[in-house]
Structure 1
Amino acid sequence: MADSSLARAIRGASLKRWDSAVGVLLVVVLLLSFGFVDGFGNGLNLSFLIGNTLPIALVALPMTLLVVSGEIDLSVASTAGLSGAVMGALWNQGMTIEVIIPICLLLGVVCGLINGLLVTRLGLPSLAVTIGTMAAYRGIAQIVLGSDAVTDFPTQYLDFAAGRIGDTFVPYALLPFLVLLAIAVVVLHATPFGRSLFAIGASEEAARFAGLRVKRQKLILFAVTGLTASLTGIFWALHYASARYDNATGLELSVIAAVLLGGIDFDGGKGTLGGAIAGVFLLGALQNVMSLQDVSAQSQIVVTGILLVLSVLGPRVARQVSLARAARAAG
């Protein structure tokens, strides 16, 4: 039992150090980019950087809570694409945007509940379930909108999604994101619900014996993840002024890479939202720098994949080193 407690303590300390390292690396990358990358410090480029990173950051909020609880959702990008496709199709049919947005958000909740029910009621692994729904939701999006692109949304919504506050580089859309970030931080780190997610991720069986409503809490998380993915799909369509069935393709890879890069333990039970958001903006900054340096999109995907592997491997290597040192010291 003592050895198990020591291992858990070392595991937590390693992840905290990883969180701090990612934060420091983000600062270093930003400083080097400002100093040596032409055009990086331009107000327009900084606005693009934040705007392009916001979809990743939005989905990263519930994804962090989900991974902490020991689950994952790979269908978020397809849910976002389906939301955008439905948005475009309903707009073509003459509905107002004020009616369309709530419908799309409700659709996202339904998508999340489907994932959650399959995982919690049938006991299926979330990885397998969401790989299946990832393909299904994307296929439905293509059926709904086909190969059309809808671009004539109301100007005020397009301006909010892509515009900046006055003469600053700060996008309007950053403000509601900060509100959602604050809510997510409070929920995860300052409420009984958030503490229960860490307990569930550390040991689902122990959490169930402790009286936690494991299935209900996971179902809530999947529903919130679907809701946020749908919101991201709406933002994506308005930010880029185009609703297509293939919107947000590949977003799930960036989200998971950023969350794991930020120190969230893939096995569940450990991590902070601060580390996850640092990982999100580190990934966003690197992608922006690569774009400024004319690195191809395919090469950027390769870099993202490498970061995903390193983000899983790094904390584990650090933990094994810490365990080995502790064992030698105890010996």
Structure 2
Amino acid sequence: MTATGVLTTVVTTSTPAHAHPLWRRWLLTREAAIIALLAIVVMVALATVRSFDSPLTLTYLLRDIAPILLIALPMTLIIVTEEIDLSVASILGLSSVLTGVLTAAGAPLPVAALVAIVAGAVCGVINGFLVTVVGLPSLAVTIGTLALFRGIAVGLLGTTAITEFPEFWTDLAKSLIPGTPIPAIMIPFAVLAIAFAILLHFTPFGRALYAIGLSRETAHFSGIDVARTKFTLFVLSGAVSGFAGVYFTLLYSNARGDNATGLELQVIAAVLLGGVSIFGGRGALHGVIAGVLLIGTLGSALRLAGVSGEVINIITGVLLILSVVSAAVLAWARGRRVAAIGRRRLRRT
């Protein structure tokens, strides 16, 4: 075999995805499958569940999943780099408590909200420092800070709750976009979603995230500052979680240290269900948004149908397991197919 023949074989088999038409690369993906499944769930719910087509149902659905939608944005970027942040719900709880404590002390709500968001960013700085500077695994770090931030939140308020907030701000948190049943919180979410989508999919920073997820060592030797990049993501995660905590507090008019307990599992489940690989290097933001909507829609429809919360959790867990298993099976099948094509071409040359 000549050197030219070997080079041709390597080049033609190393980028198989680009040998397919654009429509196939867009439609035959996990993200497209999640969007299709979401559409099926919505149609079935509309046809079988009484009152699911009510505008009020859409309003409450979007209000309830808004914190998950917000936190899932930076979580997507973190998991793409093969890291994880389990402390997001405790950061939300801490920011909720700070909002309540400062408001009760007489601080204007915008000032209290700003302090809560900055506190969330500081929590992200702590996580980022321990992961990128000290070099500890993000799983262990964020399990520890989950308990730390939750303990601080509970310690500030104990078993009490603050339920008095300025009516203007609580009404704003519950308000709708004029003429629609869509909550106004979807406006800042849309702005953040566009910003994160551009950052992930259309900038060198986003390409660096995928490179880090595929191989941290290769990314480092390619000139990417891996530590600084991951540190930035943890700070973003903390700040967005702080913002979600302010919204959560005003929506329910309730500041408690145990607010949003367990929310981190819902966020991670939605991100993985949306097509992001837990091993890093793969995923798209539109798939994650569809994953959050799918879990929220399915849960809302089942609750309206009288299904218990335990059964809903079981169904969600099964969906997540199937999603992870199907990704592994598809990756294995794709690898076998590419290897078979390579062997056939080698035999021909």
In which range does the TM-score fall when normalised by the shorter chain?
A: over 0.9
Deviates more, 1:22-31 or 1:290-299: 290-299
Residues 16 and 271, structure 1, Cα contact 8 Å, conserved in 2? no
* Identity %, equivalent residues: 44
Deviates more, 1:134-143 or 1:303-312: 303-312
Runs of 4+ in 1 over 4 A off after TM superposition: 1-10, 13-16
Q: Hey, what's the Cα distance between the residues in 1 that align with 2:132 and 2:11? A: 28
Q: In structure 2, list runs of 5 or more residues that go unmatched.
A: 1-6, 18-24, 345-349
Residues 14 and 318, structure 1, Cα contact 8 Å, conserved in 2? no
Q: TM-score, normalised to structure 1's length?
A: 0.94
Structure 1 residue 124 corresponds to structure 2 residue 126? no
Match of 2:3 in 1: none
Counterpart among 127, 134, 149 of residue 115 in structure 1: 127
Q: Hey, what's the Cα distance between the residues in 2 that align with 1:279 and 1:3? A: 36
Structure 1 residue 210 corresponds to structure 2 residue 222? yes
Superposed displacement of residue 6, structure 1: 5.5
Structure 1 residue 43 corresponds to structure 2 residue 55? yes
Q: Which amino acid counterpart does residue 117 of structure 2 have in structure 1?
A: L
Counterpart among 320, 323, 331 of residue 319 in structure 1: 331
Match of 1:287 in 2: 299
Superposed displacement of residue 202, structure 1: 0.9
Q: Which amino acid counterpart does residue 128 of structure 1 have in structure 2?
A: A
SS of the residue 2:29 aligns to: helix
How many equivalent residue pairs? 330
Q: Determine which structure has more spread, i.e. the larger CA radius of gyration.
A: 2
Q: Which amino acid counterpart does residue 249 of structure 1 have in structure 2?
A: T
Q: TM-score, normalised to structure 2's length?
A: 0.89
Q: Hey, what's the Cα distance between the residues in 1 that align with 2:10 and 2:26? A: 16
Match of 1:52 in 2: 64
Residues 70 and 244, structure 2, Cα contact 8 Å, conserved in 1? yes
**Root-mean-square deviation over aligned CA pairs:** 2.2
Match of 1:274 in 2: 286
Counterpart among 98, 103, 106 of residue 91 in structure 1: 103
Structure 1 residue 262 corresponds to structure 2 residue 274? yes
Superposed displacement of residue 165, structure 1: 2.4
Match of 2:236 in 1: 224
SS of the residue 1:230 aligns to: helix
Counterpart among 228, 247, 253 of residue 241 in structure 1: 253
Counterpart among 321, 338, 344 of residue 309 in structure 1: 321
Residues 26 and 32, structure 2, Cα contact 8 Å, conserved in 1? no
Match of 2:180 in 1: 168
Distance change in 2, residues 1:4/1:175 (3 Å): same
Q: Hey, what's the Cα distance between the residues in 1 that align with 2:181 and 2:151? A: 37
SS of the residue 2:61 aligns to: helix
Superposed displacement of residue 300, structure 1: 2.6
Residues 15 and 271, structure 1, Cα contact 8 Å, conserved in 2? no
Q: Which amino acid counterpart does residue 209 of structure 1 have in structure 2?
A: F
Superposed displacement of residue 150, structure 1: 1.5
Superposed displacement of residue 7, structure 1: 8.1
Deviates more, 1:230-239 or 1:288-297: 288-297
Match of 1:296 in 2: 308
